[in-house]
Structure 1
């Protein structure tokens, strides 16, 4: 019966049958259906045993079942569209078996050479699948465990080896299917797609719901849930409160809270605003109470001292709720729970995760007033909110839990950013966006500012802890689209497109060299959309700087001309930073692995060249101006909205004092830091290419300087063209490039230092070192890698 079913389904033509089987290749067997071909190969690679691929199946080669015996699948391999499909140069009549000339599978259209040039071909898909399979030992030596599901169209199983767990789910149907998998054993685990690294919903119950498209498949690695705040060994302590809990921060329990609870709680958190340093002590600077029908909360201002870093002022709002509410609102992230109150069995959680906190802040903001109580007073100030009808938020969703800020999206079209690390004074993020909104009511370069919240003390010191902006309709961050563009470029160069450059006198397109038509044509073909987007981004950045310079009526925004004294100060600052970071690089050159040591030694050799670039600042007084700038601009601070770009997060670098972040600087700093992040996006994209072979990764690594140089020149040309008449930068292009070169070297040097301080991760440090090497290559125009075939 099963054989009869197989014949009816796969072998309608009796000539395709032989003995008890079928004499067909995989592609014609499946009617050349790409999804079904992929599906069966996924099964082959997923099931236990050693997968064997019959030659030609990797390119979807056809057969000739009219030949006798099994000769129909033994025809010559189709390498190219030349003589005998590239299999042999002999007379075609001398071949033992003829090549395939069936129109659907003709060797002119189905061959290795053609598919090798197309990153979307079956051949490239097979290569990626094989490389991905080789990364997981569970497929080779792991156990096989079938997963029960009621839907018979879906086949699911686990491959497991030690802590490596891969869930394989395959939809055998030609229709979309919904399935519930019995995964109770893996509750608390999060499935992660091994190809895209996208995270799926955490397995919370016995049954896990999944929807699949026609002939769809998933390889999902099961990992313990990665929560915002949930260290494995943290358990909230219990507080014995005889008085109302809102008064304990100034009462008898204050000493225990400062010495025990707060250091323990803050020390295990990643999104509370603290530096990456050992906490020495914590003191409660002040506490403010909010008591409404929606919320019972205390807003704490803490002074946190570190062993080897400057002290911080940290904003910590705490709210009381029941055990069930704490579990729901924190999504079982127990690291967000501060303590348990013994008498009432209630929990104190970070109030940012309490819906009532957001509704209370919104009410105060819309009323345009304050929550009066013992100092400090909670003061909320509306900006454009009066002219925009904002309903009370019903649904509140976490957008981002960063180290310094936590951002939430409201269903009423607003975005609330909670600042964790505070300083008294004017918040530059609010100041910059508000000023741009006032000067240009129709401004489309920044979000619309709606209002802010602060703690106001008797001495008029103000600590801003929150800002409300209108939510920007967007398609994502430029950081993400730049990585996707880099991945597409990598596919293009791996597919053999670089062959057209073989034999060319190939130099990188540095700012001073004439355009190279052959290379420009190649890059416009392979990365034209990205280059066009970057040109537009650069012109938008120039427009932002021009608009900031035009807010001259406000003293804090009035442009200032460069002076020889300022230029010398700038030179000394850059030279001092260079000396400090080079001392770090010198240490790394003696302690890292071979790749790290080679990169460090190469960077150390660039010191005279970098100092020479800095000398431009001392040559003569520059016709340029200082203005208020973004201060920490990178691709992750820019949203794509249709064909335009929206700049956000104007608060500047968090490792600098508030007053320093408000200093006027050259707008070239923003351009240099933005171009620097383009380089990092390419290397991050390459880092994600886990399915590629090492030799392919090495080949791509050679091409990143080329890609980066043309991205840089596209942005520099567009930016200069848009801003040259503003007097903000040198109008003459050569002077502009020399001016930019000094700042770009300084940015690259600074990035190396910050990568070591913030991450201390070899990948981040090597990426920063490589960025400096590639910046130097771009500015000086040294020779490119080989442009020929890499295999």
Structure 2
């Protein structure tokens, strides 16, 4: 460690080739287990090829003979005690094998060394003698001497490669720069990803037995960073069974696509891999999972035939110790930043089902600041095999363990019980009522059968959806969709009002409303929605996912033209008249007609939704004109939101990462700029109608079936009071929500998806702004064409721009507040949006 800090790991290199050809992980595992420990200040240099022959001095005679037979059949390719070939020819130019060996190289301990030319798959010429066959000029482009030198070709020390398969006119940097699917770009992406994780360079390695010798699996760990590496060495599909119990409750996330894999349990983790497949998976603790609170038998031991007695005998302990922690794990719990002063089970309802029993708890939470809130939590009990299945598949549903007549049981969220799911469906289908024991609460089912024709029979199976959302959703036979609202509101939820109203208006681009379940407080006569039943819309996913994919394709097209150094196109001044066909040719080629038309279609459907909400004699939906008092109210509301959010930012800024802190400080220091912008609302008279709107309109609220969009989730912004969500507002609010969502998708792709390298992100940032500016204008053009002469938009584009900017500021500050409460790692996105707004203002 005092004289040599870095050495090539020569014994490891040939074992990687042997393992690949034999389709057996043992040679790699065996060699790494024999590798001696080195001081912390030292490092191994790992490599696949270098300027010398592929040395076989440190292998056995049998291994050397094997390497010659499979990698150097031509004796001329052998020299000294090795093989004088480059990586691509060694692997018969098999792209999958080339990627796999490089992936392996970047995954193992040590600093990977790449030999020049291997990043583009250069060939060799072992007829040149000695080891010169792998030392030919670097192939930069298709010009003379492969762009390596402008001298007479005869003056080159070694000739360029002209083998037809590896000819420099085909295999060169310039060509591969233009092709985002090239080996060069693949290498850049994997190197960029490796740099983001210290575990690859400094972490320990622990091999995981897979039960399949063709699958190599190990974990690289550094501090709290744990990366699972899985590699299929076989040319055929393989299945592995990994013992990952050490990481019980963790969720693997694939690094490149950020796809979430199933949660790790105590059981073997099954993984299926295609030929030469390979994964990098980051193991993250499940934020929703709860360590099941197991009490001593003396505390939670019931001798009764009624498990519900636990709420009587141990009520105080459950209210104080169990429920506050459990509620904090639910995405549907909306007060994670509030400090709970007291938790009280204020009411219970009892359901006796065919094979289970359910207690519906009404849990009231009193905070140190703000008003109390009530949440409903249906609970049931099970034991044995079914209990184990719930713990394994739905960890976050388990509330606690206890003993009932010496039998270990679990108390869990009854929404995950199929009997309770079926009961809720029948409650709506048959319009049943249920009254609580003290006669204070009525649970009422209502069916919309008379209005809609559908088949209500043969509903056998149901399942709870695991998607991240602020409510709980249950699917029945791929025909009906039940959305349950956990928070008990003192008013009818706008989701039910809007969905029912638009169904009656025969607006086609929504899931139809089929029924509901409501609570009614018999003392106050106030009703609250427990759940609504809707039509299930089969889809390919949401518009958010569709948009992220399109943005990635757009960025790839931009990078492919990077060497051409195209100038950034100018941004159109018009909001209402910017169409795809009138856009610059470069924009048309980069964005493509597919998504441009989808953005316009989305604008059309948005206008159709608002038009459906215009014409009504219903007081809750009748349109109203703007007045100056209401304009003043809008200004004051946005101003309060801005100031409160900046105050929250200031309180938490010390906990931010340095880069995030810089962005937040910039927002805080420019508070006056935002207040000045929104004050312009007082300088004009807004000339359009106020109507009921969606209220939380963004790409995630649209299902896409491959042809068309369906609008969902009319609940409004969940952090706002329910009364505020039902206020009539300008349709521009929804338009701004969607416009902001387009920008959100750009920032997410750049800063959250790990798709592009840091140096590419710097270049792509401005091009991302171009995509956003054109796409939201296509969206607004589609809206304007449909909504002409409806007074949904002001006739003046200047007025529209002023209103849109004010609402954008409001939306951005709302997003900051939301991310502070729910997803701190996403806060960079609204901070970047406000930063860009400041910069845009300075330029103008």
Fold match by TM threshold 0.5: yes
* Alpha carbons of structure 1 residues 232 and 78: separation in structure 2 relative to 1, 3 Å: farther
Is 1:540 matched with 2:605?
yes
* Alpha carbons of structure 1 residues 549 and 243: separation in structure 2 relative to 1, 3 Å: same
Matched-pair contact (CA < 8 Å) for 2:336–2:822:
no
Q: Could you tell me how far 1:6 is from its partner in structure 2?
A: 3.5
Is 1:425 matched with 2:491?
yes
* Alpha carbons of structure 1 residues 392 and 350: separation in structure 2 relative to 1, 3 Å: farther
* Aligned equivalent of 2:426: 363
Q: Could you tell me how far 1:166 is from its partner in structure 2?
A: 3.4
Counterparts of 1:290-329 in structure 2 under 5 Å? 290-329=351-390
Q: Could you tell me how far 1:474 is from its partner in structure 2?
A: 0.9
Q: What is the alpha-carbon distance in structure 2 between the residues aligned to residue 164 and residue 394 of structure 1? A: 44
* Alpha carbons of structure 1 residues 324 and 746: separation in structure 2 relative to 1, 3 Å: same
* Alpha carbons of structure 1 residues 390 and 127: separation in structure 2 relative to 1, 3 Å: same
Is 1:407 matched with 2:467?
no
* Secondary structure in 1 matching 2:130: coil
Is 1:469 matched with 2:534?
yes
* Aligned equivalent of 1:678: 742
* Alpha carbons of structure 1 residues 240 and 212: separation in structure 2 relative to 1, 3 Å: closer
Matched-pair contact (CA < 8 Å) for 2:544–2:745:
yes
Is 1:349 matched with 2:415?
no
Match among 726, 738, 759 for residue 802 of structure 2:
738
Counterparts of 1:162-561 in structure 2 under 5 Å? 163-181=224-242, 183=244, 189-204=250-265, 207-224=268-285, 226=286, 228-231=288-291, 238=300, 240=302, 244-246=306-308, 258=319, 261-263=322-324, 265-266=326-327, 269-272=330-333, 274-330=335-391, 331=393, 333=395, 336-338=398-400, 340=402, 342-343=404-405, 345=407, 346-372=409-435, 374=437, 375=439, 376-384=441-449, 387-391=453-457, 393-400=459-466, 404-440=470-506, 443-459=507-523, 460-497=525-562, 499-502=564-567, 507-511=570-574, 520-528=584-592, 529-550=594-615, 552-561=616-625
* Aligned equivalent of 2:680: 615
Q: Which moved more, 1:561-570 or 1:637-646?
A: 561-570
Match among 663, 668, 678 for residue 732 of structure 2:
668
Q: Can you give the 5+ residue segments of structure 2 that lack an aligned partner in the other structure?
A: 1-61
Matched-pair contact (CA < 8 Å) for 2:331–2:470:
no
Q: What is the alpha-carbon distance in structure 2 between the residues aligned to residue 743 and residue 228 of structure 1? A: 33
Q: Could you tell me how far 1:394 is from its partner in structure 2?
A: 4.3
Q: Could you tell me how far 1:430 is from its partner in structure 2?
A: 1.2
Matched-pair contact (CA < 8 Å) for 2:576–2:784:
no
Matched-pair contact (CA < 8 Å) for 1:428–1:651:
yes
Counterparts of 1:91-106 in structure 2 under 5 Å? 91-106=152-167
Question: What is the TM-score of this pair, normalised by structure 1?
Answer: 0.88
Is 1:729 matched with 2:793?
yes
Moved over 6 A (4+): 512-519, 585-592
Q: What is the alpha-carbon distance in structure 2 between the residues aligned to residue 150 and residue 338 of structure 1? A: 34
Q: Could you tell me how far 1:608 is from its partner in structure 2?
A: 4.8
Q: What is the alpha-carbon distance in structure 1 between the residues aligned to residue 643 and residue 282 of structure 2? A: 45
Q: What is the alpha-carbon distance in structure 2 between the residues aligned to residue 589 and residue 259 of structure 1? A: 31
Is 1:748 matched with 2:812?
yes
Q: Which moved more, 1:330-339 or 1:57-66?
A: 330-339
Matched-pair contact (CA < 8 Å) for 1:562–1:623:
yes
* Aligned equivalent of 2:777: 713
Give CA deviations for 1:289-340 in whole Å, capped at 9, x if unaligned. Answer: 2112133112222322111122112112122322543332343626632563
Matched-pair contact (CA < 8 Å) for 2:433–2:442:
yes
Superposed CA RMSD in Å reads 3.5
* Aligned equivalent of 1:640: 704
* Alpha carbons of structure 1 residues 469 and 741: separation in structure 2 relative to 1, 3 Å: same
Question: What is the TM-score of this pair, normalised by structure 2?
Answer: 0.83
Q: What is the alpha-carbon distance in structure 1 between the residues aligned to residue 240 and residue 772 of structure 2? A: 45
* Aligned equivalent of 2:217: 156
Q: What is the alpha-carbon distance in structure 2 between the residues aligned to residue 562 and residue 296 of structure 1? A: 53
Q: Can you give the 5+ residue segments of structure 1 that lack an aligned partner in the other structure?
A: 784-791
Q: Which moved more, 1:711-720 or 1:517-526?
A: 517-526
**Aligned residue pairs, count:** 772
Q: What is the alpha-carbon distance in structure 2 between the residues aligned to residue 588 and residue 400 of structure 1? A: 31
* Alpha carbons of structure 1 residues 41 and 510: separation in structure 2 relative to 1, 3 Å: same
Give CA deviations for 1:408-438 in whole Å, capped at 9, x if unaligned. Answer: 2233522221111111332210111111111
Q: What is the alpha-carbon distance in structure 2 between the residues aligned to residue 467 and residue 490 of structure 1? A: 40
Matched-pair contact (CA < 8 Å) for 1:625–1:728:
yes
Match among 753, 763, 769 for residue 699 of structure 1:
763
Q: Could you tell me how far 1:556 is from its partner in structure 2?
A: 1.3
Is 1:625 matched with 2:689?
yes
* Aligned equivalent of 1:788: none
